[in-house]
Every structure is written in C-alpha cells, then in structure tokens.
Amino acid sequence: MRDFLPADKARRERVLAVIRDRYRVHGFDEIETPVMEEYGRLHAGIGGDNEKLAYNVLKRGLDADAIRAAADDPAELTDLGLRYDLTVPLARFYASHRGELPTVFRSIQIAPVWRAERPQKGRYRQFMQCDIDIMGDASARAESELIVATLDTLDALGLEGGSVRINDRRVLDWMLDSFGFAADERPGVLITIDKLDKIGPQGVAAELRERGAAASAVDAFESFLTRPMTLEYNPFGERQVRKLLPAGAPDEVVAHLVGIGEAVAAARAATGGAEADLADIPLVFDPFLVRGMGYYTGTIFELAHPSVDYSLGGGGRYDGMIGRFLGQDVPAVGFSIGFERIVDLVEAAADDPRPAVVLVHDRDVAERDLLAHKAALVAAGSRVRLEHRTKNLKALLERATADGYTAFATVSAGAVPGSLELKPLA
C-alpha cells in the first residue's frame, strides 16, 4: 500500500480521467459499490486464488473466549471482507438493483481493491482496477464492444499498437476432453498449460507427467503441441482459429469468435475511414490462453502491447456468476485495464492548460489582501498557491515548478488586486 506525492497523484488522475472519458463515450455508466462485501460472498468459490488473499474483518464484539472457540473456522470469526476484485461486487450489485437497470447494462467501475499479496515489484496490496462490464447480452456484440472500447482507451492514452489475445474456455474444455484428460484433473492441467509460454511444450508435458495426469492424454497433447506447422500467416478469423485447434472444433464457439473479430474490424475501420479488413484487426487467437479466474464460462481475453512482455489487462465472460446471487442466470462479460501497469507506460500528460501561479508574499501582507489577490486570479481562470517568501527563493520556485506551476508573482503590502506582474517559472 503506497502513498502518492502530489505530482504522482496528479499523473494518476490525468490517466484515470482519460480512461473514464473513453469508457463513457462508448456508452458505459459509472457505478460505485462498498469497499467491503459479506464474507460468504467473497468466499463462494468463484474468486479463484484471490479468495485466499482476501482481507477479512473480525466480527464486532468478539471476546477472547469466542475467538479461541472459533479459531479453526474463519467463517465464524469474520462476516465481512475487503473486495479483492470488482467483479464479485458487481454481480451482487446487479442482483440487488436489476429492476432499476436497463435490460442490457453497461457499467464502469474504477476503484481500489485489496489483496494480501507478498510485497514485491509490481504487486501491491492496494491497487486500482478499471473495469467495464456488460450484463444481459449473450451475443458476440458484448465482447466486441468491450474490446473496441478498451483499444480506443489505449490509443487515447498514447499507447497505440495494442492488441487482444482471445480464447474461449469452452474451446479449452473441448480440447482437454479430446486429448483424454479426465474432468477432475483439468484444473491442475490448466495451471500447467498456463505456463506454456515460459517452459515450452516439453516443459508442459514433463510437468503434466509429474502431476500424474493420464499418460495417453499427455502424449496426445504433446504430439499436438509439437506437430509440424506451416509459416503461413493467417489474420484473425475462421482459418486462423481452426488452424490452431485440433480438427473438429465446435462450430458454435468458432462462429462466436469469428463474429467478435468481424465486429471489431468493422468498428476499427469506421474510425479510420476504411473498409473492414480482418487482416488489420488487432486480435490474435491463442488456444492456450487460460486466465485463472474460475468464474469464466466462455470468451477470455488479455490486452497486449509491443512495448512490454506482460499483459496490460484482461477479462472474459462469466455467465454463471450473477445467477448465484439472483437465482436466475444472466449473461455477463467484462474487461479490466491494469491501471497500475499502464500508468507507468503513459508519457507525461499535457500540462493543465490553465495558468498555474505561485504568489510569493511578504509576512506583512494582510490575509485579506492575499485572499483578494488569489480570488482575482482564480476568477480569471488560474490555479493559485500562496507561499511565504523564504531566504532560499530559488528552492521554493523549483519546488513549485516540479508541482506543475508555470508562473509566479511577488506580493507586497499595499498591492492592488489585479496589478501583479506574473513572471514565467520555466
């Protein structure tokens, strides 16, 4: 958990402002949920490993005897917890307010979440998430809208050239079934497959054997991973999807993925004034993209950028989650931008167009005169800070420059508001 100095905070807020603006122009509406949710909701088996990282809140009024009596059962000690993501709170929100929301609801959530991570570079115990979600739409249009809005946001932040890796959990299940992996061993198999880009096909096969996976299934999987492949380039579409899958892939899932690509291509072409061209679409089918959240039921995706070798966000379809709270299934899909990773990549935003003025005043200037000078400049559209004159005026002005101020003026007793001479700081 970190403190942010004024310059860092201003930078983060500028990036957040761009993200909010782009999400809103794509028709999403911002909501807010409490920082805490019920313990049972956060530990319902849908948050994957994140549930193990949740900060739980002790029940109020427990004495020492009650704590000792319930020490072996966290559910008896706690009734609330800090949210570890924004998806579980959104599902609860939608179930609670469905009658007040449109049939297809497009939400924005931008807020901090908390996980008891082991402190290390790039992993924080409190961090910002920026989510957009669509509930009530089972068609490929929902995924397409999320992808288009996310890529547009990346472009607006000056990170052009982003792309989206895409897969479908139904494809993964079908593949594992076709190779012969039993249903009860698939969660472990997926954990290993997720390491494919790090340890390679032989490493994956070796780890699967160490896990005790069915030998015939591992052999079939390894044979598929090491099969001869042509170097022919296929843009995103049916040919690319089917080439990267075993023969006989489910037509319905392939059609869903292709539909997403065609819609995204049309949207991107419309902004560039060109015909929809799948060859230029920033989508890449990755049949071994896993994403660890257990609540995903269909399409999954991750945001990539050529400047880094890690993802900048991700998401997927979680059609079964809302039904746990509502008692009736509702299709839902979401995309989250990794704000903490993106904010470090964004170049310094353009300076605030408003003049930013430091008024350096002597100690004998009356408070009412200082406030009158300040009010006159604020009314004229400036941002204004008052500073006592110090012996080291140079250091004072350097600090003001670092904080984004662009001009200064000295204020002496008797000066008339509006008559100050502004001098540039740079």
Q: Evaluate if residue 280 carries a pLDDT over 80.
A: no
pLDDT band at 53 (very low <50, low <70, confident <90, very high): confident
pLDDT tens sequence across 66-97: 777 777 777 788 889 999 999 989 999 999 99
Per-residue HEC secondary structure of 199-243 comes to HHHHHHHHHHHHCCCCHHHHHHHHHHHCCCCCCCCCCCCHHHHHH
In our burial notation (b when 16+ CB lie closer than 10 A, e otherwise), range 190-229 reads: bebbeebeeeeeeebbebbeeeebbeebbebbbeeeeeee
Q: Evaluate if residue 278 carries a pLDDT over 70.
A: no
**Cα separation, 352 vs 354, whole angstroms:** 5
Q: Evaluate if residue 274 carries a pLDDT over 70.
A: no
pLDDT of residue 313: 93
Q: Evaluate if residue 349 carries a pLDDT over 70.
A: no
Three-state DSSP state, 361: strand
* Mean of the per-residue pLDDT values of the chain: 87
Q: Considering the chain, what percentage of its residues have pLDDT values greater than 70?
A: 95
Q: Evaluate if residue 376 carries a pLDDT over 80.
A: yes
**Cα separation, 60 vs 77, whole angstroms:** 9
Q: Evaluate if residue 173 carries a pLDDT over 80.
A: yes
**Cα separation, 12 vs 4, whole angstroms:** 9
Q: Terminal CA-to-CA distance of the chain, rounded, Å? A: 34
**Cα separation, 402 vs 390, whole angstroms:** 17
Q: Evaluate if residue 354 carries a pLDDT over 90.
A: no
User: What is the chain's Cα-based Rg?
Assistant: 27
Q: Which of 79-83, 141-145, 196-200, 324-328 has the least mean pLDDT?
A: 324-328
User: Between residues 133 and 182, which one has the greater pLDDT?
Assistant: 133
pTM of the prediction? 0.85
pLDDT tens sequence across 219-252: 998 888 888 877 777 788 888 899 889 888 999 9
Q: Evaluate if residue 30 carries a pLDDT over 90.
A: yes
